[in-house]
Amino acid sequence: MAPPLLILRDIALTFGATPLLTSAELQVMEGDRLALVGRNGSGKSTLLKIAAGIVEPDGGERFLQPGRTVRYLPQEPDLSGFATVLDYASAELTAGDDPYRAQYLLEVLGLTGKEDPARLSGGEARRAALARTLAPEPDILLLDEPTNHLDLPAIEWLEGELSSLKSAIVMISHDRRFLQNLSRATVWIDRGISRRLDKGFAHFEEWRDEVFEQEERDQQRLAQKIRREEHWMTYGVTARRKRNMRRVRELADLRAQQRNHRGPQGTVTMAASEAETSGKLVIEARSISKDYGGGPVVKEFSTRIQRGDRIGFVGRNGAGKTTLLRMLTGELAPDSGSVRLGANLEMVTLDQKRERLNPQDTLAEVLTGGRGDTVIFGNESKHVMSYMKDFLFQPEQARTPVGVLSGGERGRLMLARALARPSNLLVLDEPTNDLDLETLDLLQEMLGDYQGTVLLVSHDRDFLDRVATSVIVSEDGGRWQEYAGGYSDMVAQRGEGVTARKVEKSAPKRDAKPQGNGGPPAAKANGRAKLSFTQQHLLKTLPETIDKLGKSLEKLQAEMADPQLYNRDPSKFARLSREISEKQQALDEAEEQWLELELLNEG
């Protein structure tokens, strides 16, 4: 078995007075697909930074095999110092890398490469960082929330792209479907230590529950043993003092073990404050349309939403999900058609970009509206400290400005504020952003028990499958279509998922042609090309790959031609034989793939 590419052993790190990591381990083998999971604040991102060599731990060991390359995708990339986005995305390419891969990745992710980094939105900066990370095809990829700010077509494209890479991958993500589709092993960070399961994320939750149940049994046995020892101390025979002192010390150790045990991290207590029941009809839209001048965003869409419906809205970025949602809720008037809202509606909206949080307000001010120390929850009032604990905030955070909270904490705070308000219509625009998996579970359960109506915009396929009773999907030309069930049900009925926007622009002009046979002809400009982004890229790069494989094979065969090689060096003879076989197989596969793509391109 090949040695590990990267080893982290006994990693310890403390922030302030609280240990974050106490004995964390991580081992990355060739071709690994590791899901790194744990509650928000458990140290996942910190461990990934230690693996990348960015953060120095207080204790422990990091070992990277010499000559191996690591690339890290941060949650908050820094693009300063670069004139264009392409300069940033190409910065870590070396002489052996494909010089056009960064441009290809940027285009797939909806960027041209000519943008000014200083003018990018947070989502655009994240997509540029993803292109920069994937461009060199390193030995190890460390990805911290790679699906954040990606729409469904981009997420599904990314899954395919990562599946095709030879790089070992360690990924943190709140997207269950993404982790299930890609991971082959799971590393769980919990209370400062790590546990590894040599199965994909699909098996994680069952394994986690088994660990917690075993811990609970162990604590029950420990409590019983302490009670027995306490009984002996009170009523037992005191024959020999040495023996008694040993039992006293053992009892003290047992009590310390019980006292120092850190149970599972707290769970969010989540419930929605419900208003009076709305009328049976919540929203009725008849042939509504909207056009901002560049073609219809919504065209003659009609729907009837009734009390208790949970409607998911899906589509690529820019398709008009938020526009449609604003028209349906009466916030935006349609250009034509009509929207009728039902009786007795109490609507609460969770804003996607968290823009409605003033960064200067404290956590307590956000929850109470700046009025006193209580949160009005339905017909009851609750002290803000108690309500904060329900959402995993510590009492000392009450006066913390919102601007210093992490993304996950801001997400929980927005949920806490929204759910405290009486409602019978919840409008949730990307509520799953930055939430950990356990909080997503509880949000899903809460929505399942909610007696009102839910309108939900999300790119999380698993969450849509669990929550939505029907899905409204963007079609071409501003058309929207409703399908019964969740995302998977929609795909089954429609025959495909959400598709990306068609890219009309041709490939970028190049001053110099790639080495090799000059590369294949450019993609057709008349719109008849039948190749996907990935296939077009392969068609452009395969000739150079074939040329390199052919030259490498010739060199190996020349060495193998030595008639005395076997007698002089049997191990080298065996190695060359193996390498020739592998290179020949790779060459055959590359030539066959190029031929298939060329035929498809010409068809």
Model confidence over 76-130: pLDDT tens digits? Answer: 889 989 999 999 999 989 888 888 899 999 998 889 999 999 888 777 888 999 9
Among 161-165, 503-507, 573-577, which range has the highest average pLDDT? Answer: 161-165
On the question of pLDDT at 63 being above 50, the answer is yes
On the question of pLDDT at 252 being above 80, the answer is no
Collapsed DSSP state (helix, strand, coil) of residue 390: helix
Model confidence over 338-394: pLDDT tens digits? Answer: 999 988 888 888 765 555 677 788 888 888 877 778 877 666 777 878 878 777 777
CA gap 65, 53 in Å, rounded:
13
* Terminal-to-terminal C-alpha distance of the chain: 45
Tell me the C-alpha to C-alpha distance, in Å, between residue 460 and each of 64, 318, 389, 391, 495: 34, 17, 27, 22, 19
Q: 437-454 b/e with 16+ CB inside 10 Å = b?
A: bbbbbbbbebbeebebbb
305 burial type by CB count under 10 A (0-12 exposed, 13-18 middle, 19+ buried)? buried
Q: Tell me: domain 533-602, CATH 1.10.490, correct?
A: no
Q: Which one-letter DSSP state was computed for residue 118?
A: G
Residue 418's pLDDT is: 78
Tell me the C-alpha to C-alpha distance, in Å, between residue 171 and each of 36, 162, 180, 202, 499: 6, 11, 11, 15, 24
Residue ranges of alpha helices (H) inside 374-524 are 384-390, 407-420, 437-449, 461-467, 487-494
Residue 443's pLDDT is: 82
Model confidence over 481-505: pLDDT tens digits? Answer: 999 988 999 888 888 777 665 443 3
Q: Which residue type sits at 458?
A: S
Confidence of residue 241 (pLDDT cuts 50, 70, 90): very low
Q: What is the mean pLDDT of the chain?
A: 80
Token pair listed for 597: 């793509």
Residue 513's pLDDT is: 37
Q: Worst-scoring range by mean pLDDT, 86-100, 147-161, 431-445, 507-521?
A: 507-521
The closest alpha carbon to 149, from 433, 547, 372, belongs to 433
On the question of pLDDT at 164 being above 50, the answer is yes
Residue 200's pLDDT is: 93
Q: For residue 364, what is the enclosing H or E element?
A: helix 363-368
% of residues, the chain, pLDDT over 70: 81
CA gap 428, 436 in Å, rounded:
17
CA gap 505, 23 in Å, rounded:
51
Residue 71's pLDDT is: 95
CA gap 448, 270 in Å, rounded:
12
CA gap 253, 53 in Å, rounded:
38
**296 and 290 Cβ atoms separated by less than 8 Å:** yes
CA gap 382, 399 in Å, rounded:
18
CA gap 9, 25 in Å, rounded:
5
Confidence of residue 40 (pLDDT cuts 50, 70, 90): confident
**281-494 maps to which CATH number?**
3.40.50.300
Residue 421's pLDDT is: 80
On the question of pLDDT at 238 being above 90, the answer is no
CA gap 487, 14 in Å, rounded:
42
Model confidence over 128-146: pLDDT tens digits? Answer: 999 999 999 899 999 999 9
Residue 262's pLDDT is: 58
The closest alpha carbon to 520, from 457, 595, 456, 575, belongs to 595
**499 and 493 Cβ atoms separated by less than 8 Å:** no
Residue 256's pLDDT is: 66
Residue 571's pLDDT is: 79
Residue 522's pLDDT is: 38
The residue with tokens 């990745």 is: 105
Confidence of residue 158 (pLDDT cuts 50, 70, 90): very high
The residue with tokens 């073609």 is: 295
CA gap 322, 340 in Å, rounded:
18
Residue 503's pLDDT is: 42
Confidence of residue 324 (pLDDT cuts 50, 70, 90): very high
pLDDT (mean) for 257-274: 59
Model confidence over 273-319: pLDDT tens digits? Answer: 665 677 889 999 999 999 988 789 999 999 999 999 999 999 887 78
On the question of pLDDT at 231 being above 90, the answer is no
The more confident residue out of 373 and 187 is 187
The residue with tokens 């030309």 is: 477
pLDDT (mean) for 15-31: 86
% of residues, the chain, pLDDT over 90: 32
pLDDT (mean) for 446-467: 88
Residue 248's pLDDT is: 60
Residue 259's pLDDT is: 60
Model confidence over 512-560: pLDDT tens digits? Answer: 333 333 333 333 333 334 566 667 777 778 888 888 888 887 887 778 7
Out of 3.40.50.300, 3.40.30.10, 3.60.15.10, 3.10.129.10, the CATH code matching 6-204 is 3.40.50.300
Q: Worst-scoring range by mean pLDDT, 237-246, 462-471, 474-483?
A: 237-246
150 burial type by CB count under 10 A (0-12 exposed, 13-18 middle, 19+ buried)? buried
Residue 509's pLDDT is: 38
CA gap 564, 328 in Å, rounded:
81
Confidence of residue 153 (pLDDT cuts 50, 70, 90): confident
Residue 505 half-sphere exposure, CB side, CA atoms within 13 Å? Answer: 10
